[in-house]
Structure formats: C-alpha cells, structure tokens
Amino acid sequence: MTQPSRPQDGRAALASFVTNRLGRTNARPAPVETKAPPTDESAQDFEKLTGYRELRLQRSAADLIGLGNPFFRVHETRAGANTRIEGQAYSNYSSYDYLGLNGHPAVSGAARKAIEAFGTSASASRIVAGERPGHLKLERALAAHYGTDGCVIMVSGHATNVTAIGAMLEAPDVIFHDALIHNSVVTGAQLSGAQRRSFAHNDPAALEKLLEATRHEHRRALIVVEGLYSMDGDAPDLAAFVELKRRYDCWLMVDDAHGLGVLGRTGAGLHEHCGVEASDVDIWMGTLSKTLSSCGGYICGPSALIEYLKCTAGGFVYSVGMSPPLAAAAEAALSVMQAEPERVERLRRNGNQFLALAKKHGLNTGSSLGLAVIPIIVGDSLKAVTLSDRLFKRGINVQPIIHPAVPERSSRLRFFMTSEHTPEQIAQTVATVAEELSALETGATLIEQLMARRGA
C-alpha cells in the first residue's frame, strides 16, 4: 500500500529539483589529477585582464586628441528631455524616459507611500521573505495589460531574460532569435544549453528556412524577437512570426522592453502596433526601467510558466525581491500611461519630426520608424565619438554607439526621444547635428587630401 506523501517530502523534492535544474549537487566528484599551468607572476594582475590594455589605449588616444569621455557622466538632476551636467544645462537624448513619467507626481507619490509602509527593501527573496502587496499588484496589472494568465517580476531586466530563458530550455531544445537580439537573450540561451540559431534581422523568410531545415532536430523551440529594436528603432512584422510559430510548433517570445509605451496608438506595445492579438504571443517580456520609470523586468505568460519560473528560475529564487517603492512606482506609471494616451501621441509627433528633419538634412537614420529610437549613422567609431563630443560642447547630450555594440562601419549616435522634448528643441538639435557632421567630414576630407599630397 502506497504511503501518503508528507509536506516535508514535497519540499525536499522541490529543493532537489531546483538545485539540479541549476546544475548544482551536494555530491562531490572524484578529484581529477591535472598538471599545474605554467606560473606567470603577472597573471593575477587585474590589468592583465583580456581587453583591459586595449581599453586603456583607447582612452589614451581619446585624451591625446582632446576628446572627453562620453560615458559615465554625472547628471545633477532628473535626466529627461533636459538635464544638468557639471552645472551646465543640456538637451538630453540619452534617457529611456519615453513618456516623461520619471518624477510624475503619481509615480513619485506611490513610491513614497510604499517606503512609508514597507521601507526600501524586500530584504530577501520573495520565497524567503514573503510577498509585499505591491509585487502582486504590479504583476496583476502587467498580466492584465497583455491579457495573460500571470506575470512574474524580477529585479533586473537583463537578468529576467537570462534567467527565464535559462530555465525554460535545455540541451535537446533550440532557440531561434533575430541577429540583432539583445545580449540578455543570447546569454540566456547560452545558460540553457540549448542550440542557438540566429536569422537575418526582421526577416521572417530567413527564419522560415531555418525552421524548415532544423526544427525537426529538436524537442522544444523558442523564437525570440524584440518589439522596438534599441539600436535601430525598427520593429518586426509580428503577424508573420506568429504564423511561423504556429506552423512549426514553437513558442514565440517578444522582448517588448522598448516597445511598451511607444508602439501602437495607446503605447500598448508591439501587438497594438501590428494589429495582432496579444494572446497570439506565448511570452511577453519587458523592463520597468524605460516607460515605467522604475527598475527590473517581467515575464507575462501562461500560469504554468509563471509558476514554474517562480519556483525554479535562479534569478528569481536566489535573488532579493523587488524593492517595494520600485514596484509601486512601476504600477503607478503603467496606470498613468494607460490613462493619458496623449503622452504617446506627443512622443510620436516628436519622433516623426526628428526623423523628417534628419532626412531633410541628408542624415542617415537607417531603418528607424521615427518613434522613440532614432540613430544617426556616421560610420567609424572615432567619427561617432568625435561628433558626440562636439555636440556636448554645444549643449546636446547624446551617446555614441561604437564597435563592438554595432559593426564598425555602422557606428552611430543614438537619439532617444521623449514626449517632453519641444519642437524648437528638436529642430535646433537636428540642425546642429547636420552642421557639426558636415564640418567633421569636411575636415576629414582636407586631412586626407593633405596626406595624399605629402605622399605624392
């Protein structure tokens, strides 16, 4: 006769499952005798880390030609459409605050109330320290937004992709992803042990060829695309990917980190932009640090997936729960976004104005839709950094994106638009970019001609 299982047996089984899922075990393997590597007294020097010497050479070269470091600048105020750095005012295009909700009275007020009630920390993982009402309220709100059974929030957007994909897939599985997919998706795929295959950017036909050739070789398959691509500002044809995932029996995951608050008439995300039902997508992922003016990430999907992640995903099980004020701020921001669609319309107008003016000035904006992300592609990394530096000296803060983040010949300045930029500010910015880029290219041409003459 079978004995009924005891609660402690269930907990032990769950603990065993989680630790095994993460590749951990209490058993110690037999020691393997290995030869000690040759001794290098300098090997433990941190300055010998791979790539550090190149990093220092780049910084020295920039100092030599008088370029300031465009990274890690200290902002002395809330950085939205405008900011202050070292006491100077700047037009700011390096903020993800797409709808201007960072500092909104309702958002800040919700965070203050959460601090008063629960302090600043959840203290431990939610499994250990228990839930806070704000965690559940935010998860319910996000699940309702995408029309899914449930949602799980985590303390890092990057870690959300890493831990969720790492938990869902295993060695017999495969992940198909856009060639320009975010680093967090690639890292999650590597953690999972699944095969990883990339297809040409925004090209469903290329994915179909991969699926036709290789889908039968694997057990489970996951297709991952982004809502709005953060380097190029373009979006995929969601309906085409939905059709492929159905035909080839795959899960479809959309990383809507930059899409929420931006895509669609009300900013609902990629599904609204493409006129596709949100329920046609199996997994919605996003971050809280952009439109929602907080910090962290989320997965929305079927109840079985959400329960599974809450019990097995290392980035949730072994990580502290989200700070209560951050959860409260994100939930309040989502509410304001839904109640004030005019913010989305202002963002769209601003992006369209910037894109139209940039094209009028002959600037290369790539495949950008002219929404929240608009690149100005200038070519090599040095030109991008130099242009960024010149613009900074004229009161415009915008970051260069250089190799290896993008291919060397695709280095660019990446402009993030917000609903709070003014038409005058945008017009002045684009005119200044065109002026400085023209001067930079003219100067480069003169130098090339001079060197050619000397060579002759």
Residue ranges of domains in the chain, CATH in brackets: 69-98+341-455 (3.90.1150.10), 105-339 (3.40.640.10)
Please state, in angstroms and as integers, the Cα–Cα distance from residue 295 to each residue in 58, 105, 286, 289, 298, following that order: 31, 18, 11, 4, 10
Percent of the chain scoring above 70 in pLDDT: 87
Query: Cα–Cα distance between 255 and 286 in angstroms, integer?
Result: 6
Contact 91, 394 (CB under 8 A): no
Tokens of 391: 């613009």
3-state helix, strand, coil in the chain (%, to 5): 45, 15, 40
Q: Which helix H or strand E contains 384, and what residues bound it?
A: helix 381-393
pLDDT at 20 (0 to 100): 43
pLDDT at 43 (0 to 100): 77
Q: What is the mean pLDDT of residues 46-51?
A: 84
Query: Cα–Cα distance between 321 and 157 in angstroms, integer?
Result: 13
Q: Which of 369, 325, 400 is nearest to 68 (CA)?
A: 400
pLDDT at 444 (0 to 100): 61
Residue 129 scores a pLDDT above 80: yes
In the structure, what pLDDT confidence band is assigned to residue 16 with cuts at 50, 70 and 90? very low
pLDDT at 28 (0 to 100): 44
pLDDT at 311 (0 to 100): 94
Residue 455 scores a pLDDT above 80: no
Average pLDDT over the chain, rounded to an integer? 89
Contact 332, 339 (CB under 8 A): no
Query: Cα–Cα distance between 361 and 379 in angstroms, integer?
Result: 17
DSSP secondary-structure letter at 321?
P
pLDDT at 27 (0 to 100): 42
Phi-psi region of 240 (alpha: psi -120 to 50; beta: other; left: phi over 0): alpha
Q: What is the mean pLDDT of residues 168-188?
A: 97
In the structure, what pLDDT confidence band is assigned to residue 31 with cuts at 50, 70 and 90? low
Q: Is 257 helix (H, G, I), strand (E, B) or coil?
A: coil
Q: What is the mean pLDDT of residues 93-106?
A: 97
Q: pTM for this structure?
A: 0.87
Phi-psi region of 49 (alpha: psi -120 to 50; beta: other; left: phi over 0): beta
For 330-351, write each residue's pLDDT tens digit. 999 999 999 999 999 999 999 9
Task: Give the residues across from 397 on adjacent strands.
Answer: 92
Helices (H), 203-313: 204-214, 238-247, 270-274, 303-312
Query: Cα–Cα distance between 225 and 248 in angstroms, integer?
Result: 16
In the structure, what pLDDT confidence band is assigned to residue 23 with cuts at 50, 70 and 90? very low
Q: What is the mean pLDDT of residues 19-45?
A: 55
CA distance from start to end of the chain: 98
For 69-87, write each residue's pLDDT tens digit. 788 889 999 999 999 999 9
Residue 279 scores a pLDDT above 90: yes
Q: Are strands 373-379 and 396-397 parallel, antiparallel or unpaired?
A: unpaired
Directed axis angle between helix 324-339 and helix 342-360, to 10°? 80
Tokens of 210: 């991969």
Contact 400, 328 (CB under 8 A): no
pLDDT at 33 (0 to 100): 59
Residue 447 scores a pLDDT above 80: no
Q: What is the mean pLDDT of residues 162-189?
A: 97
Q: DSSP labels for 175-199? A: EEEETT--HHHHHHHHHHT-EEEEE
Query: Cα–Cα distance between 145 and 137 in angstroms, integer?
Result: 12
pLDDT at 39 (0 to 100): 60
- Kindly tell me the burial class for residue 196, based on how many C-beta atoms sit within 10 Å of its own C-beta (0-12, 13-18, 19 or more): middle
Residue identified by tokens 């809450």 is 310
Of the two residues 442 and 177, the one the predictor is more confident about is: 177
pLDDT at 409 (0 to 100): 87
Tokens of 211: 């699926």
Query: Cα–Cα distance between 261 and 344 in angstroms, integer?
Result: 7
CB atoms within 10 A of CB 273: 21
Query: Cα–Cα distance between 220 and 211 in angstroms, integer?
Result: 12
Query: Cα–Cα distance between 348 and 265 in angstroms, integer?
Result: 9
Query: Cα–Cα distance between 434 and 450 in angstroms, integer?
Result: 24
In the structure, what pLDDT confidence band is assigned to residue 308 with cuts at 50, 70 and 90? very high
In the structure, what pLDDT confidence band is assigned to residue 50 with cuts at 50, 70 and 90? confident
Tokens of 191: 């953690």
